[in-house]
Amino acid sequence: MRRTRHQAVRLRLALTAVQEGRLDQQAHAARALWNLLHELFTLSGARRPSWSYLDSEIRWARANVDWLNVLPAQAAQAVLKTYRQAWVNCWERRSMAPKFKPRCRVAPAVDIPQGRDLLVARVHRRWGMANVPKVGRVRFRWSRDLGGVARGGPEGAITGARLVKDALGWHIVFRVKQSVPVVATNDAAGSHVGIDRGVALPLALSDGKAYTHGAWLTRKERERLSLAERSAAHKERYQRPGQQRSRRLRTVYAEIKNLRARAKRRVLDWQHKVTSIISGHYAVVSVEALNVVSMIKSAKGTIESPGVHVAQKSGLNRAIASEAWGRTVELLMYKVADRGGLLIQVPAQGTSLRCSECGAVEAGSRESQARFTCRNPECGWTANADFNASRNIDQAGLALASVAGRAVVRQT
C-alpha cells in the first residue's frame, strides 16, 4: 500500500549581485500587487469586484506598468490565487481577514507555481541548478535529495517552488510530491513514548531519556547582540518621527537581524535532528495539546487591573518562545506519519499534578519545578517532575489510541 506525500524542501541559493537585485524587484512587485488587490477589493463597498475582473486588471497592469512587469505572469497569478484563498479562509472562519502588507514586516517572497518551468538539474555533488523566470539559471546548495531529479534518488516530482528571503539571504523551497509505502519503519514497531516539553528540560521522555541543548548563541555572539540592541535603542532616541533611518541605524538593525536569524536556524537544526531520532524509534508518540499562543501572552494587564510578576512572566514567555514548542509538534507530526507511526495530542490538564505510578492527585505532590513526590501514603513515589509528566502523557496517549482502535504493545 502506498500513499502520496507532499513535502517542502528548503535549500540555500547562491546568487550573483544581478540575480539578487532582480529577485528583490520581483518580491517588492508581488507585495505591492497584493496591496493593490486588497485596496481594490475592500474599497469597492458592498459590490466587490469579481475574481475574473481582478485577473483582467492584473493583466492590464503588467502590460502598462513597468515596475509591475518585472513580476512573471505565473507569479502574478499566484498572488491573486493566494489572496482569494485568504478570503475563503476568512469566510469559513479559519483565519482572520487579509491585511495590508507593509514593507518592513513582510519577508520578500516570489512564487513559481509550475514545476515544469524550473528545469532542475544536479550538476555537482553539492550544487544544483534551477531556472527562475526573468532571472535565469540560479545555483542552489544541494543539501537534500529532491524527488525525480537525481539518478538513483527518491522517486517523485517537483510541482513548484517558492523563493523566500531572510536575514541569511535567498532560499528556494521546492514543493515535492512523492509516492511512499505505508509501512512502519520504526526500530520497535510497538514502542510508545510520552513527551513533556519544558524550559529547564526541553524534552523529557517517558522512558527516562531527555534531550537538552546549550545556548543558541555563543557568549561572544550574545555580547554582540546586546551591544547592537543598546546601540539601536540609543540611535532611535534621536530619530525624528517620519525621518528616514540613518545608514548607521540600518547597519545596526541588519546585525541584530543576522544574529537572531543565526539563532533561529540553530533551533531548527536541533529540532530536526531530535524529532528524526524520536520518530525513528517510537511508533506511538504522545504530546500535550498546548495553546502556546495563550501561554506566552503578556502579564502587564491594564491600568485599572495591572498584572503581577510582569518581569518574571516576560522572561518565561521569552524562554517558551525560544523553544518553539509548536514547531516541535509540527515536525513530529509529519515525521512520525512518514514512518507509519501515530502522533497523539492529549489534554494537558493534570499531567503535572497526577502521580504516574498510582494515579493519585494530591495537593503538594509537586514539591518544586523539578521534583515530584506523591503524597499518597500508600505510594510515596518520587521522581523528576518532567519525567512524571511525560509518563502521564504516555498513559493518556495509550488510552486514546486504544479508543481509536490502534493496537499498542505496552513497554515493560
**Same domain, yes or no: 105 and 161:** no
Amino acid at 108: P
**Same domain, yes or no: 358 and 372:** yes
**Same domain, yes or no: 52 and 129:** no
Average pLDDT, the chain: 85
Q: What is the pLDDT of residue 292?
A: 79
Q: Which grid cell is 182?
A: 505505508
pLDDT at 303 over 70: no
Q: What is the pLDDT of residue 128?
A: 92
Query: Which range among 27-41, 160-174, 296-310, 336-350 shows the weakest confidence by mean pLDDT?
Result: 296-310
**Same domain, yes or no: 206 and 352:** yes
Q: Which of 87, 109, 131 is the last residue of a domain?
A: 109
> Residues of the chain with pLDDT > 90: what percent?
38
Q: What is the mean pLDDT of residues 264-279?
A: 91
**Same domain, yes or no: 290 and 360:** yes
Does 262 reside within a domain? no
**Same domain, yes or no: 171 and 303:** no
Residue-wise pLDDT tens digits, 64-114? 999 999 999 999 999 999 999 999 999 998 888 999 999 878 889 999 998
Q: What is the pLDDT of residue 57?
A: 92
**Same domain, yes or no: 23 and 133:** no
Question: How many domains are there within the chain?
Answer: 3
**Same domain, yes or no: 31 and 123:** no
Going by pLDDT thresholds of 50, 70 and 90, the confidence category of residue 238 is: confident
Does 281 reside within a domain? yes
Pick 390 or 308 by higher pLDDT.
Answer: 390
Sign, CA dihedral 240-242-245-246, equals negative
Residue-wise pLDDT tens digits, 244-259? 888 899 899 989 989 9
The number of C-alpha atoms within 13 Å of 171 and in the hemisphere containing its C-beta is 15
CA distance 236 to 404: 57
**Same domain, yes or no: 141 and 87:** no
Does 257 reside within a domain? no
State which residues form the domain around 289: 192-215+275-403
Residue-wise pLDDT tens digits, 188-233? 455 889 998 888 889 999 888 899 998 999 999 999 999 999 999 9
Q: Where are the beta strands (DSSP E) in 91-233?
A: 109-112, 121-122, 127-132, 136-141, 157-166, 169-181, 192-197, 203-205, 210-211
Q: What is the mean pLDDT of residues 255-273?
A: 91
**Same domain, yes or no: 9 and 146:** yes
Going by pLDDT thresholds of 50, 70 and 90, the confidence category of residue 408 is: very low
Amino acid at 242: G
Going by pLDDT thresholds of 50, 70 and 90, the confidence category of residue 150 is: low
**Same domain, yes or no: 143 and 288:** no
Does 287 reside within a domain? yes
Does 258 reside within a domain? no
